[in-house]
Structure 1
Amino acid sequence: MRRIYISADMEGVTGLVDADDVQPGGRDYERGRRMMTEDVNAAVRGAVAAGATDVTVNDAHGPMRNIVPEALHPAARLIRGRTKHMGMVHGLTAEHDGVICVGYHTRAGALGMLSHSFMGHEIEDIWLDGRPVGEIGLAHATAAALGVPVAVLTGDDMACAEMTDWDASVATVAVKYAQDRFSAELRPVEEARGAIEAGVATALREHRPVPAVTNPATLSVRWQSASVASVLQGIPGVVGVDSRTVRAEGELPSLYRQFGVWMRVASSLTNQPPYC
């Protein structure tokens, strides 16, 4: 695999367990940024070892300005900042040969480190074609629609299990083991980063078929606030399921982009911190 795309989230990064580790202004956020950067660097090293000649990294967490640019591996190009029309998979194209998801976490309601789906408490549930889904499944399905396989996911053991349940062919690397939503047993830092590097190198050397994807797809979202669902129904194609749930049908990846618009509408109507 020559052209590799890395989507980097933060909650599933080595050593991080609390909102203060991953939110700007948190007492350990600056340390968290460095930890995130080094997990990404381990993935880049693994990709280069497997023969990658072009590596794109998308900073996909929160403000999307978390990775420390000057500390990033020189083989990688960084997509940084907001707004990104395709959010966590912005910059991913059909020309890429594989996707690596670094630092991912479980969906809303699941037991896992810092679990949520995109907007903390505001999004209660998401379904893709009737199947419960979070950031992991939506990234995977969007990549598949572009014809690009997800090769590796790193995060806590519960995020790895969620990925395996979604697609068992994806290699996973657990860097910590969830005890609850804000506590974990941590792998030693160097051991975890070594496992990321080795796992990526091994996975990218193997042939990865592109999973089948259903298109058009149906996306349903249950919000905490009924006002969000009400306003969203003003968008053509968005219909109400109940007072807090809306759905729409469309082709991936365009449906993923539309979901980003839904979240921007929700952000304008609510003010929910991610881990209150």
Structure 2
Amino acid sequence: MRIYISADMEGVTGLVDAEDVQPGGRDYERGRLMMAEDVNAAIRGAVAAGATEITVNDAHGPMRNLLPEALHPAARLIRGRPKQMGMIEGLTSQHDAVICVGYHSRAGAPGVLSHSFMGHEIEDIWLDGRPVGEIGLTQATAAAIGVPMVGLTGDDCACAEMTDWDASVATVAVKYARDRFAAALRPAEEARAAIEETVAAALSAPAKAPDAAAEPASTLTVRWQSASVASTLLGIPGVASTDSRTVQAQGALPDLYRLFGVWMRVAASLTNQPPYC
């Protein structure tokens, strides 16, 4: 059984502030170790369920957060950027399941450190008219590749967003949002035990692989904070505007996901302030 883990940071046990998740932040070094412990709990669960190959993709910010020496030896790590497929780099139809660790809710939604991909620069995203963030777009793209998402960890708001998007995915709430930068924390040992147990159970239950060939073309729409970003993206073939700050494109996932990555690199080159995470 080949398992793929996409590891973000904002939804990791104990982390609540940008200082916890940004390189250079006062508590970042502690945060990256907390991230490794949550990922290791998921790896242990996968091993218990019979996984023979585990790929972990560091999916947060600079994508160099996980220290290789801190990672469980059963897993292989994809680290660094740029990556053409960003948060799901290395995911192929040969994988049997996807686990998302440390995920967070979308921009504008309640939740600890909620945002969509680029912090403040992206205001809203829609997939086929449905509001979406990193959770839904990851699940939809994995499904288009033909791999089911079976588990997700994060705060209670991220878990609720996952359930609303796809109720078949098992979730683990490691903290409970009080505001965007505050949470009631689950004890670390308890949270990691829950991650391990839930991942093992989710992988032990039969999961139907999505029929990737049946996925229709989709429409991805993004509303940016800056009209400059939107107008520049119109130079890319296939990109259309719906208003001065909103662009969209049609196509099949995962191609749209890869195109969205290009949009973000364009946006990053045009904005003077870097994303907060």
User: TM-score scaled by structure 1?
Assistant: 0.98
> Which residue pairs with 2:140 in the alignment?
141
Structure 2: distance between partners of 1:272 and 1:48? 42
Which region of structure 1 is more displaced relative to structure 2, 266-275 or 250-259? Answer: 266-275
> Which residue pairs with 1:180 in the alignment?
179
Q: Deviations over 1:9-28 (max 9, x none)?
A: 00000000000000000000
The answer to whether the 8 A contact 1:59-1:65 is kept is: yes
Q: Deviations over 1:33-76 (max 9, x none)?
A: 00000100000000000000000000000000001110100000
Where 1:152 maps in the other structure, the secondary structure is strand
When the two chains are superposed, the root-mean-square deviation of aligned CA atoms in Å is 1.1
Amino acid paired to 2:261: G
Q: Deviations over 1:188-231 (max 9, x none)?
A: 00000000000000000001123567421100000000000000
Where 2:93 maps in the other structure, the secondary structure is coil
Where 1:74 maps in the other structure, the secondary structure is coil
The answer to whether the 8 A contact 1:115-1:181 is kept is: yes
Where 1:32 maps in the other structure, the secondary structure is helix
Structure 1: distance between partners of 2:108 and 2:273? 16
Q: Deviations over 1:251-274 (max 9, x none)?
A: 110110000000000000003343
Structure 2 residues not aligned, in runs of 5+: none
Structure 1: distance between partners of 2:108 and 2:215? 25
Q: Deviations over 1:224-261 (max 9, x none)?
A: 00000000000000001100000000111011000000
Q: Deviations over 1:157-180 (max 9, x none)?
A: 000000000000000000000000
Where 1:41 maps in the other structure, the secondary structure is helix
Amino acid paired to 1:274: P
Percent identity over the alignment? 79
Please show how residues 97-108 of structure 1 align to structure 2 within 5 Å. 97-108=96-107
Amino acid paired to 2:155: D
The answer to whether the 8 A contact 1:42-1:194 is kept is: yes
Whether 1:20 and 2:44 are equivalent positions in the alignment is no
Distance change >3 Å, CA 109–CA 211, structure 1 → 2: farther
> Which residue pairs with 1:236 in the alignment?
237
The answer to whether the 8 A contact 2:22-2:276 is kept is: no
Residue 97 of structure 1: how far off its partner (Å):
0.1
Amino acid paired to 1:42: A
Structure 1: distance between partners of 2:34 and 2:16? 12
Where 1:78 maps in the other structure, the secondary structure is strand
Structure 1 residues not aligned, in runs of 5+: none
Q: Deviations over 1:59-96 (max 9, x none)?
A: 00000000111010000000000010000000000000
Structure 2: distance between partners of 1:48 and 1:6? 13
Where 1:174 maps in the other structure, the secondary structure is strand
Where 1:207 maps in the other structure, the secondary structure is coil
> Which residue pairs with 2:193 in the alignment?
194
Where 1:6 maps in the other structure, the secondary structure is strand
Please show how residues 36-115 of structure 1 align to structure 2 within 5 Å. 36-115=35-114
Structure 2: distance between partners of 1:118 and 1:12? 13
Structure 2: distance between partners of 1:162 and 1:70? 33
Structure 1: distance between partners of 2:201 and 2:234? 46
Q: Deviations over 1:84-121 (max 9, x none)?
A: 00000000000000000000000000010100000011
Where 1:197 maps in the other structure, the secondary structure is helix
Aligned length: 275
